[in-house]
Structure 1
Amino acid sequence: MKWMRFRIKTNEESEDIIVSSMMDIGLEGAQIEDNAPLTAADKEQMFTDDLQDADDEETGVDSSMVDRNIDSGCAFLNFFVEVDDNNTLSLHEYDENGDEITVSKTPDQMKEEIKSVLEELRAFSDIGDGTISVDVTEDIDWINNWKQYFHKFFVDDVLVIPSWETPDEEDKKKANITLHIDPGTAFGTGMHETTQLCIRALRKYMTPGARVLDVGTGSGVLSILAMKFGAGHTVGTDLDPCAEPAVADNKKANDIAAKDFDLIIGNIIDDNGVQEQVGTDYDIVVANILPYVLVPLTPIVPGLLKDGGIYITSGIIEAKEDVIRKAHEDAGLTVIEVCKQGEWVSVISKKA
């Protein structure tokens, strides 16, 4: 099996925005290398790239700047795509209705799309170097490589910890709630700033015995934590059937009873069958997904909420805040809070 790796050189601050933006063009499962020291080839390429950008002696390379960049290291984002027999790439994207579609692209087309996205991001954010390299490898073990980058961490007093790590005494003193999570390659861990915004909002607006709907539940992080925060029942929806084993494993790891957390696979936006299964009268609806899905989702949310119910949205870069705020307001909801962490935003509203 052959895999094509698209490797983007950037900085730590831009990792989340780039990963989120690459999902729009079908690149998923990013492998992140923070503060990676530059290899000899990287250093040589950096120097070569800078020389190529110099138009004349007056705009030539500042060797001291090159040295500082080399010493400080940088971050790399690696995206792997399986190569078909005809040397094309099959990627999963979503249309304007949120429906998943399969698109075939050549490696050159993919690289040009990546360049275009990076240039758009560069217009409002410092993404660092932003160069792209492409190579091919066979039978890589990237499916498991992510484990070396995921370690236990805290969100306030919530300890998030994978199965291959053990809490120490300090962890036990600090943690009031422990979330055992093995996300696999496709889903989140709670580490992402957008998820942390949702975690804090869920805790703030939770009422004992609340019914919670988690749209785009992934590995079930938010649904499981909602139960730990006092919810009486949660329902999670996801488009990806791979959510089923991930959710099942994480429910078991956190002692969540099967009857307390239901998972529904399908598109809640336009699938009447899914909507019927989901039902109505929720105290909280939470959606940590990208803006292009939040916009068509939001109009149906008032019909899912009780009067006085809370709608929590995240996955929103700052540049899209006004778009999502307007979606809430157009749906007849009252925006009650906007929270920010890093370059990410959570818009929270209430049904009258």
Structure 2
Amino acid sequence: MISVLSVLIALVVGAIMIAATDERVQETAGYFFARPGDMLSAIWQSVSGAYGALFQGSIYNFRREGFAAGIKPLTETLTFATPLIAAGLGVGLAFRVGLFNIGARGQMLMAAAAAGWVGFGVDLPPVIHVIVAVMAGIIAGALWGGIVGLLRARTGAHEVIVTIMLNFIALYFVAFLLRTPGALQAPGSNNPKTPPMKDSAILPDLFAGYNLHAGFIVVIAATVFVWWLLNRSSMGFKFRAVGENPNAARVAGINVNSVYISAMLIAGGLAGLAGVNQVLGTVTSGFSQGIDAGIGFDAITVALLGRSTPWGIFAAGLLFGAFKAGGFSMQAAEGVPIDIVVVVQSLIVLFIAAPPLVRAIFRLPDPGTGPRRPRPIVTQEVEAK
């Protein structure tokens, strides 16, 4: 409920900002007391037009002829959501273990470098090539995340500091490779960019004429895997136990250090899957240093909004994918700055991080303070023999 209400409040604040920056609203505000209806009408047209464009740019465009053309915005939303969900799963899984993984950007970059090198530098049969490229990216992301878990387990190094430093190391290491002939730089080019991915390594499109690729199916499988891992496996039980109270888990016989390493390996692999989707599914013509596109940090927001639960993260990723897809439509159709979408996303994080504020706005009771139903008195009848 807090997550839903946080999104609602953020949309309301976003509507206020859209109206405040609209030229027609500003013009009618000058004679508001003479004709208040003009300003109210301008506000309605501004807000409804902006959010209508957001819907048509992310879900369904009624202005296009035919269902196939009208549904294309939804496929764009799913395409944008694919790496967000993967990276969000990596961040959320670490949250469940009590680790604040803000290194998804570095894990994505290392995975993109590994998957990209296999994608353009190795000759393999079509199906095998894409599988090997995907696995190379996942393994690279897992190893980069595993460094965090290992340092936390062996030395007690705080994962926030380690992940921040590893983000910069990955960023400049990939930048170095992109400027090094024979590494990632395209042969004969002075630009820091890789060659195009080979056709045999590209994730196939799910539907002809749309940008949605098979990476979305892989992300659905990853979501199911994380749900099974956390809720149906003994390892997931250890993850949740350590996340709730590592001292109690240690007393119960759980190897907490081993859990930290295992969790960060899996989390890094999931974040690496986001980088793989970018390289083999979205930017197949070759990638540069900005291949992560801010997804590593947006994943933190997705994990927070999804309450670190697999299907909550999946839904949050779809929402933020809709924001990304519809934001461009809002800007093109209504002239609304795309920065408004970023502000709405930031407000969602703000309200999620402050549940007492949301409860105060909607006058919701604090957890555990509501009236409790009395327990029924159970009587047992004994039959006389």
- TM-score class, shorter: under 0.3
Looking at secondary structure, tell me which structure has more helix per residue: 2
Looking at secondary structure, tell me which structure has more strand per residue: 1
| Greater C-alpha Rg | 2
TM-score, normalised to structure 2, is: 0.22
Larger RCO: 1 or 2 (CA < 8 Å, sep 6+): 2
